[in-house]
Homo-oligomer: A and B are copies of this chain.
Amino acid sequence: MSGSSFGKIFKITTWGESHGTGVGVVVDGCPAGLQLCEEDIQKYLDRRKPGQSRFTTKRKEDDKIEILSGIFEGKTTGTPVSMIVHNTDHRSADYREIASYYRPGHADYTFDQKYGFRDYRGGGRSSARETIGRVAGGAIAARFLDTLGIHFLTYVKSIGPVTIDAGHFDAKQIYENALYMPDAAAAGRAQDYLEECMENGNSSGGVIECQISGVPAGIGEPVFDKLDAALARAVFSIGAVKGFETGDGFAAASATGLTSNDAFYYDAQGRIGKKTNHAGGILGGISDGSDIIFRAAFKPTPSISAVQNTVNKNGENISVSIKGRHDPVIVPRAVVVVESMAALTLTDMMLANMGAQMQSISSFYNR
């Protein structure tokens, strides 16, 4: 069944494998009149590009976006925006061997079980290159949201056992280190940890945190399309995500009502605010006007060169050491993917919310 579309009003459909002609996305339902050029997309893609540091795959790709439709004289026309990134550095030979066995922690086995066979080159559709379409689409969504005063701050909160220190949060640091951590000291420790992983042919997981500011109250469509439920699905659809939480998240389970509830208050201007934000900006599945906060847990990169046990297609139990160009940690490159999925979700929900009240509909249609 079709599973490559995301969104109802603002919808993306992604396509492409690691080793085919390219990967891409069709963005449908983008409002007309949004100023947009390839540079807006490219700067997002550059954040997930491989080859940026020692901790990312050696694969060299330009990942150059090409917009094929939907833009006229620098603005979206309301028709689908189709985009493509060509695959330029694909050496299928590297992957011929993995056709014969199932890599632990990968989708090789499950794709074979589902579809009867698989495009084994570079993981095919389950490759991280699949996320290029998400990011290209997400860049448009982020542009849309930016126009409405909504902004993202997304970063790596932890890598393996190394977590940013409370009180050391420095947003400027995020783009200063290769790991996108808002704490230079923690980033240093994380780099040491990753070096150790690489020496052992091992890999690491990590946690990404996202804060979204400027979201008006009222966004989210109960009871199944709640904002947090939609974000959960969006983020969990990214490969390697094993956990998702909003606000206090799992910590809320061991808390009490008194420590978990956020008190409302009137500020000096008579606006309603909250003293704290344990809720992460969402109450009853609807944004409450404070910052949206969520985290995603990523498992370690499954491709490791250390020896592992598995099975081959000849019915044999074997041990393997996976060769090839793999990141010891995918978390830094996933930051922009998480941000993109959140932007896509929020954009769709912002549009969905426009029909919530009869009064605003009447205004819209001048009645």
Cβ proximity bits A183-223 to B, threshold 8 Å, 1 near / 0 not: 00000000000000100101111110000000011111111
- Select A126's contact among B222, B235, B257, B275, beta carbons within 8 Å: B222
Chain B residues lying within 8 Å of A226, measured Cβ to Cβ, are: 3, 236-237
Interface size, chain A (Cβ < 8 Å):
168
Describe A's contact surface by its main secondary structure.
mixed
Known interface pairs A113-B286, A242-B247; A263-B124 also in contact (CB < 8 Å) = no
A116 to B62, CA, bound (A): 36
A217 to B115, CA, bound (A): 11
Complex contact B223–A69 (CB within 8 A): no
Closest to A33 in B: B358
User: Does residue A252 face the partner (Cβ distance < 8 Å to B)?
Assistant: yes
Chain B residues lying within 8 Å of A68, measured Cβ to Cβ, are: 15-16, 20-22, 24, 84
A261 to B321, CA, bound (A): 13
Cβ proximity bits A261-274 to B, threshold 8 Å, 1 near / 0 not: 11111100010100
Chain B residues lying within 8 Å of A232, measured Cβ to Cβ, are: 229, 232-233, 235-236, 244
Q: Across chains A and B, which 8 residue pairs bring their CB atoms closest together, nearest first?
A: A107-B284, A3-B221, A2-B29, A233-B233, A243-B245, A110-B286, A32-B115, A105-B261
A176 to B110, CA, bound (A): 38
Q: Interface centre among A80, A148, A278, A365, by most B CB within 10 Å?
A: A80
A202 to B256, CA, bound (A): 7
User: Does residue A95 face the partner (Cβ distance < 8 Å to B)?
Assistant: no
Closest to A31 in B: B358
* 16 A-B contact pairs sorted by A residue (CB < 8 Å): A3-B222, A4-B26, A15-B81, A20-B69, A29-B355, A32-B356, A78-B357, A104-B261, A105-B279, A109-B288, A110-B282, A116-B356, A116-B357, A125-B223, A232-B233, A257-B304
A193 to B155, CA, bound (A): 37
Closest to A205 in B: B253
